[in-house]
Amino acid sequence: MITLLIADDHPLYRDALRGALSSSLTDIHLLEAADLAATVETLEHNDVDLLLLDLHMPGSQDLFGLLHIRKLFPDVPVAVVSGTEDPLIISKIVGVGALGFIPKTASSSDIADAVSAILDGDVWLPEAFDGKIEEVDEEFSKLADQVASLTPSQYKVLCYMRDGLLNKQIGYNLDIAEATVKAHVTAIFKKLGINNRTQAVLIASQLELEPPAAIH
């Protein structure tokens, strides 16, 4: 029995993906999660053979969810399922350890092919991206590893810092005390090996993190 975890906040797409997998593959057990916290909890309590991860579900905005999962569960194979089809983003997805990228426009047969290939240990990408995927450089890999060490709350604070908000404003938006924000900022600086907000903003920008308005 192969256990797959579908992590996506859209019930209709989860249903569609479940249908595509159930009709194309045999002897599979499907689990579901709608946000990053539920995904982590499910991985903690189940032996998952493959995680199908949406880049843009609550708590998992842009690359953070993938980085966070890879840090916590390095032995769990991950394929990103997303509507994003930017070769640069896909290069980064593969560069930080995803074993595949499945567009949300993929057919049922392509989804089945992708899952089968990844379960066999291969990296699967749509034919349209052949020759378009570039290796990420050492600097990006190092930054990604550092950001992966942040907690989801610290990540949110980092994104608000990137947007230019002060600690008081961040505290208001997150409904936490300003002292708690300061503690998060201190932890962020330590984990990222930096000592000021300018450097934090630069790192967030290099990783192309989403602005806070898109974070849930």
Rounded (to 5) percent helix, strand, coil in the chain: 55, 10, 35
45 to 5, 52, 155: CA distances (angstroms): 12, 17, 24
DSSP 8-state assignment for residue 210:
P
For the chain, domain boundaries:
2-129, 150-214
pLDDT attached to residue 140:
82
pLDDT number for residue 45: 95
Q: What is the CATH number of domain 150-214?
A: 1.10.10.10
Fold annotation for 2-129: Rossmann fold (3.40.50)
For residue 208, the model assigns a pLDDT of 62
E strands in 19-175: 28-33, 50-53, 78-82, 100-103
Element housing 170 (H / E): helix 167-174
d(CA 145, CA 149): 7
Structure confidence at residue 176 (pLDDT): 94
From first to last of the 216 residues of the chain, give the pLDDT tens digit.
899 999 999 998 899 888 888 887 888 899 999 999 999 999 999 999 999 999 888 877 778 889 999 999 999 999 999 887 778 888 888 888 899 999 888 888 888 889 999 999 888 988 877 777 777 777 888 888 888 889 989 988 998 998 889 999 999 999 999 999 999 999 999 999 999 999 998 888 777 645 444 444
pLDDT at residue number 215: 41
pTM of the complete model beyond 0.75: yes
